[in-house]
Amino acid sequence: MQARGESLGEEDERTVVDLLIEQVEFCDVIVLNKMDLVSEEDRDRLMAILSRLNPRARIETAEFGRVPLDRVLDTGLFDFAEASKAPGWLRELRGEHTPETEEYGIHSFVYRSRRPFHPERFFALVQQEWPGVVRSKGHFWLASHPEMAGSWSQAGAVARHGAAGYWWAAVPPDQWPEDPEYLAAIRDSWTDEVGDARQELVLIGIGMDEAALRGKLDACLLSDAEMARGPLVWKSWNNPFTGWDQR
């Protein structure tokens, strides 16, 4: 993307797929061109996928790029606050579904757990294909770095992950944000045992085997015996993920 002048700078590691998905999730109007070249079934399935990724976007269809200008210019639809809340994955986290897309085999689920992943087992999983998964996003928790949160973003065959910072449980309360809404969000995700540390991944796809995917993620969690060994032992484990040097 940098070579094409489409990056935000030298540290921008997004791919064209990342950019495309982010544009779909953030926009208020989507134009589908060349719709005369696809079947009605394929058109409906595509529109269902887009509706799942961005439920608030208005979808316009076109042939030879012809679409009424008043449908795409000066629409008055854009609202930054609403757009930032619109991505389908974020709505899934909040429990807001788009059930009308399920007739096309498109569905989603949220994977949550209060146990950390074994770093090597989770790394092995992310090297594999996740059948049927079109989009997934969220945060994960590695046992080798129990104080740190990991970020996860996948679109199609492209996935990005990395250290995202510290869980609030590892930050002294006097350094927490003062904004009441932010504090409420922290408390909503808090437990006495592990604070806000957690696995929280949204998966959106077509024909996904939810049970199988959950089983693969569950297999990455620490077992009872591994949990009993505690953070001092966990920190000694090898972490194949790069960019996690802080402990």
Task: Decide if pLDDT at 239 tops 60.
Answer: yes
Same domain, 47 and 96: no
Higher pLDDT: 49 or 91? It is 49
Task: Decide if pLDDT at 86 tops 80.
Answer: no
Same domain, 102 and 173: yes
Task: Decide if pLDDT at 85 tops 80.
Answer: no
Residue where a domain terminates, one of 60, 84, 108? 84
Instruction: Confirm whether 241 is domain-assigned.
Output: no
Same domain, 96 and 187: yes
In this prediction, residue 79 carries a pLDDT of 65
Task: Decide if pLDDT at 164 tops 70.
Answer: yes
Same domain, 224 and 113: yes
Least confident of 12-16, 36-40, 75-79, 139-143: 12-16
Tokens of 105: 């085999």
> How confident is the model over 10-34, as a mean pLDDT?
70
Domain carrying residue 146 = 88-235
Same domain, 71 and 111: no
Task: Decide if pLDDT at 90 tops 60.
Answer: no
Contact 130, 158 (CB under 8 A): no
Same domain, 125 and 205: yes
Domain of residue 211, CATH code: 3.30.1220.10
C-alpha span between 70 and 182 (Å, rounded): 39
Higher pLDDT: 146 or 8? It is 146
List the beta bridge partners of residue 162: 151
Same domain, 62 and 96: no
Instruction: Confirm whether 9 is domain-assigned.
Output: no
pTM: 0.72
Number of domains observed in the structure of the chain:
2
Same domain, 228 and 113: yes
Same domain, 172 and 109: yes
